[in-house]
Chains A and B, each alone.
Chain A
């Protein structure tokens, strides 16, 4: 897995967009950028992944820089239920997924 760096914590006002950054400068060409989140006392939930292009699904958008050294996960309208630890992971070639410390996002009413 590529080494990733994320801020330990962030706050976001409810209803506003939450932008979670991730640095993955050592990511290799065949490694995807995956985002998962873990709500307290639950298993991780898959959010989104991408290789080079920006991606969007019903949960979030993923913006990957052209050099692929960093990415941003965007939750367009954060709700209190989005409070969780968000993990950015670089993985590819059917490698095992290992977790870093993630970003603890607190959505504030």
Chain B
């Protein structure tokens, strides 16, 4: 139980294009999902908290117009990196909190983004 998936697992795109990453909770409902970014040899950095049916809350320094988050259902949140640039190349990881399972967060396998 408590499985979170991400799609795609990796993506290569040209500079200036937009990329959408999906995060799904497969066997539970999640009112809250989180998006993290991880650069090589660094720890995970929280980007934003996504709540179903409401606007996401972004961490300081994260551009909300560049990283669009939509949490339209209890099992799906999407992160769109708009007008991607090489410095956006990173490992993007989502997590979800089980509505009925308390406070534990379960993480997806991550999406590796390379912007050329």
Contact = CB atoms under 8 A, between A and B. Distances in A.
Partners in one complex: yes
Interface string B19-30: 000000000000
Interface of A: 32, 34, 36, 38, 41-46, 49, 87, 91-94, 96-102
A98 B107 contact: no
Interface residues on B, range: 20 to 34
A43 B43 contact: no
Interface of B: 2, 4, 6, 32, 34, 36, 43-46, 49, 91, 93, 95, 97, 103-110, 112
A32 B44 contact: no
B89 to A, nearest CB: 14
Contacts of A49: 104
Given A96-B46, A99-B44, A43 B93 contact: yes
Given A43-B6, A46-B106, A99-B46, 16 more contacts: A34-B104, A41-B91, A42-B110, A43-B4, A43-B95, A43-B109, A44-B44, A44-B93, A44-B95, A46-B2, A96-B46, A97-B34, A97-B105, A98-B46, A99-B44, A102-B43
